[in-house]
Structure 1
Amino acid sequence: MKRRWLGAVLVALGAFLIVAAVVAQTWAPDNVKRTPIDVNSTTHLGGSADKLNPKTGKLESYPIYVLDINQNDSNRSDGSVAVFVRTTCVVIDNGQKQVCPSDKDPNLIDVTIDTFATDRHTAMSINDPQYLPKNFVPHTGLVNKFPFDAQKQTYPYWDNVLQAPVDAVYQRTAEVKGLQTYVYRAVTKNAKVDVIAGTPDSKPVKGTYDDVRDVYVDPHTGSIVDQAESQQRYLTDGTKILDLKAEFTSAEQQAKVDEARSKWSQITMVLDTVPLVGYAVGIPVLLIGLALLFLRRRGDQPAAPEPERTETPVGV
Structure 2
Amino acid sequence: MRKILGPVLLGLGGFLLIAGLLGLFWAPGVVEKTPEQVETITMLEGQAGKLDTSTGELVENPIFAISDTRTDTDLSDDQTVAWLSTSCVMIDRGGERVCDEDSEDLITASVDIFATDRVTALADNESLDLPADALPHEGLVNKWPFGAEQKTYPYWDGTVGSAVDAAFDRTEDVGGTETYVYRVEIDEAPIEIAEGVPGTYTSVKEIFVEPQTGAILNQTDDQQRYLADGTPALDLQIAFTDDQVAQGVDDNGGDRLLLDALTVYLPIIGLGGGALAILAGVLLLRGGRQAPAGHSRKQELAGAAR
Q: TM over 0.5: same fold?
A: yes
- What's 1:313 paired with? none
Unaligned runs of 5+ in 1: 199-203, 307-316
Counterparts of 2:134 and 2:73 in 1: how far apart (Å)? 18
Amino acid at match of 1:175: D
Q: Note if contact 2:113-2:134 (Cα within 8 Å) is conserved in structure 1.
A: yes
What is the TM-score with the length of structure 2 in the denominator?
A: 0.91
SS at match of 1:125: coil
Counterparts of 1:218 and 1:237 in 2: how far apart (Å)? 41
C-alpha deviation, 1:138, in angstroms: 1.1
Amino acid at match of 1:116: F
- What's 1:217 paired with? 209
Counterparts of 1:250 and 1:20 in 2: how far apart (Å)? 40
C-alpha deviation, 1:130, in angstroms: 2.5
Which one is further off, 260-269 or 160-169?
260-269
What is the TM-score with the length of structure 1 in the denominator?
A: 0.88
Q: Note if contact 1:83-1:131 (Cα within 8 Å) is conserved in structure 2.
A: no
SS at match of 1:28: helix
Matches within 5 A, 1:1-316: 2-101=1-100, 103-128=101-126, 130-196=128-194, 198=195, 204-296=196-288
Counterparts of 2:31 and 2:123 in 1: how far apart (Å)? 20
C-alpha deviation, 1:297, in angstroms: 5.5
Q: Deviations over 1:205-258 (max 9, x none)?
A: 322111110111112211111111011111222211111110111111111122
SS at match of 2:45: strand
Counterparts of 2:60 and 2:53 in 1: how far apart (Å)? 14
Query: In the superposition, relative to structure 1, how do residues 75 and 105 fare at CA in structure 2: closer, same or farther (>3 Å)?
Result: same
Query: In the superposition, relative to structure 1, how do residues 110 and 3 fare at CA in structure 2: closer, same or farther (>3 Å)?
Result: same
Q: Note if contact 2:115-2:128 (Cα within 8 Å) is conserved in structure 1.
A: no
SS at match of 2:74: coil
Counterparts of 2:17 and 2:127 in 1: how far apart (Å)? 43
Q: Note if contact 2:80-2:127 (Cα within 8 Å) is conserved in structure 1.
A: no
Amino acid at match of 1:128: E
RMSD: 2.1
Amino acid at match of 1:187: E
Query: In the superposition, relative to structure 1, how do residues 131 and 25 fare at CA in structure 2: closer, same or farther (>3 Å)?
Result: farther
Aligned residues: 298
Identity among equivalent positions (%) equals: 39
Which one is further off, 124-133 or 12-21?
124-133
C-alpha deviation, 1:190, in angstroms: 1.3
Q: Note if contact 1:64-1:93 (Cα within 8 Å) is conserved in structure 2.
A: yes
| Structure label with greater radius of gyration | 1
C-alpha deviation, 1:299, in angstroms: 6.4
Q: Note if contact 1:51-1:60 (Cα within 8 Å) is conserved in structure 2.
A: yes
- What's 1:312 paired with? none
C-alpha deviation, 1:65, in angstroms: 0.3
Q: Note if contact 1:77-1:131 (Cα within 8 Å) is conserved in structure 2.
A: no
C-alpha deviation, 1:184, in angstroms: 1.0
Counterparts of 1:20 and 1:299 in 2: how far apart (Å)? 34
Higher relative helix content: 2
Unaligned runs of 5+ in 2: 301-306
Counterparts of 1:100 and 1:39 in 2: how far apart (Å)? 21
